């Protein structure tokens, strides 16, 4: 895989570090030093690229840029409690579970779960998203509020299909596996289509980075693997989406926009 990177000249060292890290993940990073990366520059260079500027490392495309900005989540974290958060009830976060988030993405759900007490392993298979997560975690370790629970977050670069398979083979058990795979195919339900018109900038860029629906692995296999190693499997879905792997859950928590389907594997 190849990726373009624009960086402001003063961030040459950060670019070189990123280039070596991505080379380890088998991505060739082609760099171009730029005097100033501003909105106009991004509009004039709409193709997908990584960007390093005073905001740190971001992913840019179509004139927008985004990053898994964990610091921006702090106000939400401060409002969150075990009682108020549906995800906390679904994953029983009050019991400080060992938890694998097998579809890390921007890590926002895991950030909340780690804050509320879970020991989280975040697994992400996309190399660009993975380096964005690594960068964000390193930033969070410097933040006075976030650093207090960063030791509960571990990042793992892997495809969860093989990672979970390995845990099955080693007989390793965890309390919870959390799954939030990409949305179901557009034609699977109308509500998902409606929502996609309004997805936030972050989600729009995520959709550009990740494969098209047709070639996408929708995560059905993950449910089967997760059920072999976890006491509970929690699947986040858009509220009206079809069940993952067509399997009806043992319990559900319904929110306005999304729901959590719970599976309690027997034995
Ligand atoms: C909808 S996003 C998850 C969003 C996340 N819950 C959050 O709060 O930011 C789905 C992510 O799962 C990743 N993913 C999907 N299948 C995966 C697999 N088998 N192994 C690892 N990562 C996977 C995709 O690359 C994508 O980044």
Using one digit for the tens of pLDDT, what is the confidence trace for 181-214?
Answer: 976 554 344 444 444 443 467 777 887 888 654 4
pLDDT exceeds 70 at position 110: yes
Pocket test for ligand 1, best of 67, 105, 204, 224 (most atoms within 8 A of CB): 105
Q: What integer is the mean pLDDT of 226-240?
A: 95
Predicted confidence at residue 197, as pLDDT, reads 40
- Rounded distance, CA 185 to CA 244, Å? 12
Strand extents, DSSP E, the chain? 2-8, 28-34, 49-53, 56-61, 64-66, 98-101, 119-124, 153-157, 174-179, 230-238, 251-254, 258-263
Q: What is the DSSP letter of 260?
A: E
105 lines ligand 1 (CB under 6 A): yes
> Which domains are seen in the chain, by residue range?
2-66 (3.40.120), 70-263 (3.40.50.150)
- Report the binding-site residues: 124-125, 180
Tell me what pLDDT residue 77 has: 97
Which of 2-6, 155-159, 210-214, 254-258 is the least confident region? 210-214
């Amino acid at each position: 895989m190849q990726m373009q990177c624009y960086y402001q000249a003063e961030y040459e060292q950060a670019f070189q570090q990123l280039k070596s890290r991505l080379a380890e993940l088998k991505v060739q990073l082609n760099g171009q030093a730029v005097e100033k990366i501003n909105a106009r520059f991004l509009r004039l260079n709409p193709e997908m690229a990584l960007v390093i500027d005073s905001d740190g490392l971001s992913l840019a495309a179509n004139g927008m840029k985004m990053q898994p900005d964990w610091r921006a989540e702090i106000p939400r974290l401060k409002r969150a409690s075990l009682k108020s958060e549906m995800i906390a009830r679904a994953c029983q976060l009050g019991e400080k579970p060992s938890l694998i988030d097998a579809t890390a993405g921007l890590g926002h759900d895991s950030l909340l779960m780690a804050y509320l007490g879970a020991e989280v392993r975040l697994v992400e298979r996309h190399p660009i998203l993975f380096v964005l997560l690594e960068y964000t975690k390193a930033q969070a370790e410097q933040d006075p509020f976030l650093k207090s629970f960063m030791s509960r977050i571990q990042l793992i670069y892997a495809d969860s299909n093989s990672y979970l398979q390995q845990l099955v083979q080693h007989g390793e058990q965890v309390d919870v596996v959390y799954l939030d795979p990409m949305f179901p195919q557009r034609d699977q339900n109308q509500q998902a289509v409606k929502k996609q018109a309004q997805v936030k900038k972050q989600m729009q860029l995520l959709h550009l980075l990740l494969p098209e629906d047709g070639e996408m692995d929708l995560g059905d296999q993950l449910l089967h693997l997760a059920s072999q190693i976890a006491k509970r499997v929690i699947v986040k879905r858009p509220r009206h989406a079809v069940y993952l792997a067509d399997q009806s859950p043992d319990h559900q928590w319904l929110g306005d926009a999304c729901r959590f389907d719970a599976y309690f594997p027997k034995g």
